[in-house]
Structure 1
Amino acid sequence: MQKTETREYLGLEKLETYQLARQLSRVAWLVYSNLDWQEKKVIGEQFLTATDSCGANIAEGYGRYHYLDKVKFYYNARASLIESLHWSKLLVERKIMTDRTLVDEYKKIYPILSLKLNSLIKTTLNKRNS
């Protein structure tokens, strides 16, 4: 009797890359919610949109069937993540993002998410050969 291997489907909520993107979005929201009206309009919305877009693109890519569709959205997520970093650096440089706890939390999550996202892209591309 041959034993068949069963694979459990990994839902989006269990995907570590997505979980990290959601954590980063929570940090971005805390930063944004503490800004005054002008800061929100000038720089805060850009920061929040870029950060939230990372998780949204991971989710959309994860829901696609073809690996090239998936990777396209994962690349978009990576670009949004890099854009988020740009805005966060400006927020710190301009002394708008001053809460050290939030700055440190962002700096803790960002490199891990970046690495995991690159790994997700590589893994997805490698699946085409299997």
Structure 2
Amino acid sequence: MNKNSDINELEIYREALAFSNLIWGISLKWGFFEKKTIGVQLVRAADSISANIAEGFGRYHYRENINFCYYARGSFYEVCDWLRKAITRKLIPNEKEPQIKEFIDLFPRQLNSYIQYLKKCANSPPIKPINQ
């Protein structure tokens, strides 16, 4: 990965950011008690997915980037737990469930593919300058 590239070019980051904004929009409509008990935790975990991908992207070494992807994965599974609770408690509008389900189904594979790509980059020998 070219470290001079823009994080917005990274599809997995864009997907995670869009998902966290979706969760934010849903939770804004909840009452005080729902926001305080589930909403804050759910939004923080959802925001943490894209934040960890971004932080890893900004790191100099691939292995550091991989570690932050693992943190993003942990946040993803925390989101899944909070979503189960929110769905059980009828807090998620029916019309938003397909968008949520699509992200939940696709994101782990996308993240694992990105991690595998980073591992491959980390294990490949550095490119030597032409004059050596």
TM-score, structure 2 as length reference: 0.87
* Residue of structure 2 in register with 1:87 after alignment: 82
Instruction: Flag structure 1 segments of 5+ consecutive residues without an equivalent.
Output: 1-6
- State which of 23, 37, 41 in structure 2 corresponds to 1:42: 37
> Residue 71 in 1 paired to residue 63 in 2?
no
Q: Does the aligned pair in 2 maintain the 1:12–1:59 contact within 8 Å?
A: yes
User: Quick check: 73-82 or 120-129, which moved more?
Assistant: 120-129
Find the aligned partners of 1:8 and 1:56 in 2 and give their Cα distance. 17
Find the aligned partners of 1:116 and 1:9 in 2 and give their Cα distance. 22
* Residue of structure 1 in register with 2:108 after alignment: 114
CA-atom RMSD in angstroms? 1.5
> Residue 17 in 1 paired to residue 12 in 2?
yes
Q: Deviations over 1:81-100 (max 9, x none)?
A: 11101101110011122x11
Spell out structure 1 runs of 4+ moving beyond 2 A. Answer: 7-10
Q: How does 1:90-101 map to 2 (within 5 A)?
A: 90-97=85-92, 99-101=93-95
Find the aligned partners of 1:90 and 1:35 in 2 and give their Cα distance. 14
Aligned CA distance change for structure 1 residues 42 and 103 (closer, same or farther; 3 Å) = same
Instruction: Flag structure 2 segments of 5+ consecutive residues without an equivalent.
Output: 125-132
3-state secondary structure, aligned to 1:58:
helix
Aligned residues: 123
* Residue of structure 1 in register with 2:98 after alignment: 104
